[in-house]
Structure 1
Amino acid sequence: MINLHSFIRDAKFYKKLIIDDLLFVEYKCLVEETKAGIWSEVNYFVFVTSGKKMWKSIHKDYVVQTGDSLFVKKGANLVHQYFDEDYCALMVFISDDFICKFMSRFTSLMQKKADGLNRTDSVIRILMDEFLAGYVHSMASFFGTDAVPNKNLLVHKFEELLLNIFTRPLHRDVAGYLNSLNSSQSAQVEQIMEENFSYRLKLDQFAQLCNMSLSSFKRTFSSIYNTSPGKWLSEKRLDFASHLLNASDRSINQVAFDSGFEDTSSFIRAFKQKYSCTPLQYRNSPA
């Protein structure tokens, strides 16, 4: 899978502004690009300026076009671009560290801390209002000039975005998730795993999403689930595959892919070992 944040940060052909671990980019994608698996260790906002694209979470598809916006939690997604026109968007990547420091400064705006899972999906649709639209317009203007904006001004612009999110009731879902970044390590590990188990991420990438070393991640994971990450992922993917076989008409190949298996043959072997039948036999068996 492509690390979207690293790819955009390091690419030379995007107009972008980088301040420490903050990234604002004018993202342009030609129609030749169609489908891709992406992940990011940083949460990000997407403000679509032209074209059409789909973000796919484990549970739902989110189609966006000109004027739409999304908040995408750190983690993995599948994306699909449509062929109507070139897709362009303004994207804002904001690290956990910046968000947590912001929340420590503006404690009066924060929701009461909850130490459980945040129940919103890994992709959250954002409703644009005049305040957020004005913010996007002001940030876009930075790309219309060759002058480099003052660093302090840009930091304040990132804070302005968060203030919009935390002070406007229609953004409460995003605010609730951001507030959950202050929850315990165990809660954050559980959140990351439940939202990303079906994507083919490596264990060190899961650890990175949890802001942990690999060894710390494994220890914390074991204390939560009483098993290893590898065994848990295998069981979780097989359970999800059985759900897809019952609830959808996707092909066996597609079920294998959507459940996070490397290939169909390994999926069939693992499925048969657990359920004592092939995926097709399972689908065709009486309820």
Structure 2
Amino acid sequence: MINGYEFLKYQPEVYKQLTCKGMTFVYYDCPQAVKRVDIFTNFNILSFVIKGKKLLHRPGKSWLLEEGNCYFFKKGAFNQELYLDEGWRSMNLYIPDSYLRPLIKDYYKYYKGKSLISHPSDYIFELEVNEMTADFRQVMLSSFTQQPPADEELLEERFRELVYSILSNKRNHALVSYLNNLADRQKTSLFEVMETNYMYNLSLQEYAKIANRSLATFKREFKSLFYTTPSKWLINKRLEYAQLMLNTTKKNINDIMMECGFENSSHFSRVFKDKFGASPLNYRKEQVRSAAL
């Protein structure tokens, strides 16, 4: 699984970058040579699409990202599908929770108490591109080539103005709700990280990184929350998801295996049979026979 942030961060000679108060702003000209790839991020992302379009897939939903639009991504994993003949350029702002929480709290007085969605479920939020958004984008694009480099305090001031504009816009209601929930928590919800990303073939270290925890702390808190080890929990959740897909879709077995986070077909077949008493193929055949009776 590719860590999108680290892939860009550690190639400053390839991708133009600016840093500001723990945030990283990257001008991203995508080199992706394959059509689909799995990516995860342990940062929130504010992305301005400069050129091209691409599809982002999560279980049960896909988003088409298009030129001229602006999107906010939650932390987590997704599958990225490019239109290789069009290319892709974007400006991405990688924003840690540690910066967002106090920033959102500063603006509580502007939106606290308004009717908000309790638990927004979307992974990606499309934002309205208004005059403030367009102005910020232009200032930032100019800053990547500015000499001497743009002043960090000025960059932060412009970013905070953008956040206020986003929070104040009624059309960004779902994102405001998510940010409100984020600010109300002392730390990232381990339950939410696992329940929304278990179907991706992430290592335990990568899950811990998304949850903003050390590996040791992640394992300790996981056991106290789920009463089992991460490995056992992940296999069980993925098998239950595979069972659901076998019952409700016509996808082939290999596609289901990959979508559930398994990479080895023999291992998938063995653990599925251990849990449900039949291989995935025979299980599906039995379900079809039962439905026909």
Q: What is the aligned partner in structure 1 of residue 7 from structure 2?
A: 7
Change (3 A) 1:143 1:226: same
Alpha-carbon offset, residue 110 of structure 1? 4.9
Alpha-carbon offset, residue 92 of structure 1? 1.0
Alpha-carbon offset, residue 129 of structure 1? 3.0
Q: Check conservation: 2:2, 2:40, Cα contact below 8 A.
A: yes
1:228 maps onto 2:229 in alignment = yes
Q: What is the aligned partner in structure 2 of residue 248 from structure 1?
A: 249
1:47 maps onto 2:31 in alignment = no
1:64 maps onto 2:65 in alignment = yes
Deviations 1:187-219 (A, max 9, x none): 711111111111111112212211222232223
Seq. identity, %: 32
Q: What is the aligned partner in structure 2 of residue 81 from structure 1?
A: 82
Amino acid at match of 1:2: I
Alpha-carbon offset, residue 262 of structure 1? 2.4
Report SS of the residue matched to 2:94: strand
Change (3 A) 1:112 1:223: farther
Q: Check conservation: 1:199, 1:259, Cα contact below 8 A.
A: yes
Q: What RMSD in Å do the two structures reach over aligned CA positions?
A: 2.3
Q: What is the aligned partner in structure 1 of residue 216 from structure 2?
A: 215
Distance in 2 (CA, whole Å) between partners of 1:186 and 1:142 is 32
Q: What is the aligned partner in structure 2 of residue 134 from structure 1?
A: 135
1:273 maps onto 2:274 in alignment = yes
Distance in 2 (CA, whole Å) between partners of 1:186 and 1:157 is 26
Change (3 A) 1:213 1:144: closer
After TM superposition, the structure 1 stretch with the greater mean CA deviation from structure 2, 122-131 or 39-48, is 122-131
Change (3 A) 1:281 1:124: farther
Change (3 A) 1:124 1:248: farther
Q: What is the aligned partner in structure 1 of residue 29 from structure 2?
A: 28
Q: Check conservation: 1:111, 1:176, Cα contact below 8 A.
A: no
Deviations 1:204-246 (A, max 9, x none): 2212211222232223222322222212111111111112222
1:90 maps onto 2:91 in alignment = yes
Distance in 2 (CA, whole Å) between partners of 1:122 and 1:215 is 27
Alpha-carbon offset, residue 87 of structure 1? 0.6
Report SS of the residue matched to 1:198: coil
Report SS of the residue matched to 1:211: coil
Unaligned runs of 5+ in 2: none
Change (3 A) 1:119 1:225: farther
Aligned residues between the structures: 286
Deviations 1:2-46 (A, max 9, x none): 111111111121112112421111110146342211111111012
Deviations 1:83-120 (A, max 9, x none): 2311111111111111012123223135469xx98332
Distance in 1 (CA, whole Å) between partners of 2:257 and 2:113 is 40
Distance in 2 (CA, whole Å) between partners of 1:247 and 1:186 is 36
Distance in 2 (CA, whole Å) between partners of 1:280 and 1:185 is 45
Amino acid at match of 2:20: I
How high is the TM-score relative to the length of structure 1? 0.91
Q: What is the aligned partner in structure 2 of residue 159 from structure 1?
A: 160
Q: Runs ≥4 in structure 1, deviation > 4 angstroms?
A: 183-187
Distance in 2 (CA, whole Å) between partners of 1:59 and 1:21 is 33
Unaligned runs of 5+ in 1: none
Alpha-carbon offset, residue 63 of structure 1? 1.4
Q: Which has the larger radius of gyration?
A: 2
Amino acid at match of 1:128: V
Distance in 2 (CA, whole Å) between partners of 1:182 and 1:230 is 30
Q: What is the aligned partner in structure 2 of residue 204 from structure 1?
A: 205
Distance in 2 (CA, whole Å) between partners of 1:199 and 1:46 is 22
Q: Check conservation: 2:42, 2:209, Cα contact below 8 A.
A: yes
Report SS of the residue matched to 1:162: helix
